[in-house]
Structure 1
Amino acid sequence: MGTKLTDRELKKLNSKKGLKIFLKEDNPSISKVLRTLAYEEQLVKLQEELIKLQNWVVENNKKVLILFEGRDAAGKGGAIRRITEHLNPREFRVVALPKPTEEETGQWYFQRYINQLPKEGKIVFFDRSWYNRAIVEPVNDFCTKEAYEIFMNQVNDFERMITESGIILIKFYFSISKDEQAKRFEDIKTSIVKKWKFSNVDRRALELWDQYTSYKKKMFQKTDTKIAPWIIVKANKKSKARIEAIAHILRRIPYTGKKLNN
């Protein structure tokens, strides 16, 4: 005999959203649909708080910078999309810089990132950041050992300078298991609309898993500072990771009218 449902659960299942999820899922179960509905309900409440947060940033000329780092296919982009879904697009930017140009390669490493820092009243999200040089570049031989060492010696001072300039800096690292990364890569490769995301770097990611882990540990040891600590989000479950990231942003920034359950 199955678990008896409450009147509230039955009402949710019979709602437009509940029926839509049942139709959308390949093998829907009552428990899975209820979990999805609970997630979406929680997400909407948090997104309402994000609107308050953005209004506070604009009205008080604050500057907010949020970095998203993590292994390939860890869900960084998906989290950013949920965070920005209902924000005023004129007051935030998502930065995902391409490979450096020849001119940028000859510049101070941080220069191209300085040009993207938030102005007063703005929020900027980095889908990968200067921390490419801490992990991705050395693992894939995209930079010299000397360039890596210079970066590691400068990054904490760089972050101290930007926070002292009034920028609120939040650093997320989305962490997934090797099996989960392999599963997500397979989903991407077989998806008509997502397969363009699968890059040459992605193809080598599983093979170089241990090297990524080694450089990740060095990054945490060196750059997890009091001024700019890392927030590690366990991201094997995408919905849980998104909720956790948004909740942390809301707790971290002292906007007015805050109304959180936790």
Structure 2
Amino acid sequence: MSTVQATDLSQRVQRDLTDSYDEELEMELDDRDLDPETLLPSPTRSEQEKEARRQYFHELFRLQAELVKLQDWVVHTGHKVVILFEGRDAAGKGGVIKRIAQRLNPRVCRVAALPAPNDRERTQWYFQRYVSHLPAAGEIVLFDRSWYNRAGVERVMGFCTDAQYEEFFQTVPEFERMLVRSGIQLIKYWFSISDEEQNARFLSRIHDPLKQWKLSPMDLESRRRWEEYTRAKEIMLERTHIPEARWWVVQGVDKKRARLNCIHHLLQQMPYVEVERPVIALPEREYHDDYVRRPVPPEIIVPEVF
């Protein structure tokens, strides 16, 4: 590796680490008028980088406000939505899912992130364990990976037979058409990143103790089999891109732009309007002469260390 390549890789890893700190800050900010730069200044950022960061937070909060309006419309109309998020390891799927669900009611918008199938589930119809997570009226389900595991990791890692793989492609278009005919809107996103960017993100996770848990042996093996995953992805997109459930590719090399672009696109997929909310009035607190608050036993109080 040349000096220039090493410097570029180092900068990519540092950028990813910095983005991870911003991600934690995003989780804490609730007031859209707050300026993130005043909360977490960085003397190493250029003015251009600072302005891009401010613009990112401004747009993120604006889009999240629209997501709340979308949520109200989904509940009001009884709409049913399934959104699939697929992509390579470290492509940014979890990040955008977190931003979509962050300010929504978890009873309306929930995330389905299924583990590897157990012994019993392996004997079931392949789609069976996903069906129980489908939405009822007024619900949004975000699948952090989905039934497309069979077309990706299972195919590449040899967890399914050639016959099972081919059966999947024969079944999945009709399965998705059935979902759409039943009244479920199905939206499918593929997050695309470059070879170099995935390498940098993996190195970032290796050097960040708070993120090392994200690297599983399967993730590391996927890095080695980059080309095999590429071939599997190309076949998957070609054979499962149907009019009733199209694939949408999100360019994910820049995490923050990917989040904004995906959320913006998602909002365009539904004809939502702002639902008028009833005026909320806080009732007067009742007081009763016979009520006496009992003291809390000191032995069950958490020590005030801070």
* TM over 0.5, shorter chain: yes
Deviation at residue 204 of structure 1 after TM alignment: 1.1
For residues 56-84 of structure 1, the C-alpha deviation after alignment (integer angstroms, 9 at most, x for no partner) is 10111111100000000000000001111
For residues 35-184 of structure 1, the aligned pairs below 5 Å read 35-184=52-201
Deviation at residue 26 of structure 1 after TM alignment: 6.7
Q: Is the 8 A contact 1:21 1:33 kept in 2?
A: no
Distance 1:229 1:44 in 2: 28
Distance 2:204 2:74 in 1: 38
Deviation at residue 201 of structure 1 after TM alignment: 1.2
Please name the residue that 1:220 is paired with: 237
Which piece of structure 1 moves more, 202-211 or 154-163?
202-211
- Across the aligned residues of Structure 1 and Structure 2, the Cα RMSD in angstroms comes to 1.3
Amino acid paired to 2:196: D
Q: How many residues align?
A: 242
1:32 aligns with 2:71: no
Match 2:270 to one of 247, 253, 260? 253
Please name the residue that 2:205 is paired with: 188
Deviation at residue 16 of structure 1 after TM alignment: 4.3
For residues 177-222 of structure 1, the C-alpha deviation after alignment (integer angstroms, 9 at most, x for no partner) is 0100000001111111110110111111121111111111111111
Distance 1:30 1:19 in 2: 14
1:234 aligns with 2:251: yes
Return 5+ residue gaps in structure 1 as ranges: 1-14
Q: Is the 8 A contact 1:133 1:143 kept in 2?
A: yes
Distance 1:89 1:207 in 2: 37
For residues 108-151 of structure 1, the C-alpha deviation after alignment (integer angstroms, 9 at most, x for no partner) is 00000011101111100000000000111110111111111110
Segments of 4+ in structure 1 off by > 4 A? Answer: none
Return 5+ residue gaps in structure 2 as ranges: 1-33, 276-306
1:20 aligns with 2:39: yes
TM-score, normalised with respect to structure 1: 0.90
Amino acid paired to 2:37: G
Distance 2:67 2:179 in 1: 23
Distance 2:77 2:70 in 1: 11
Please name the residue that 1:204 is paired with: 221
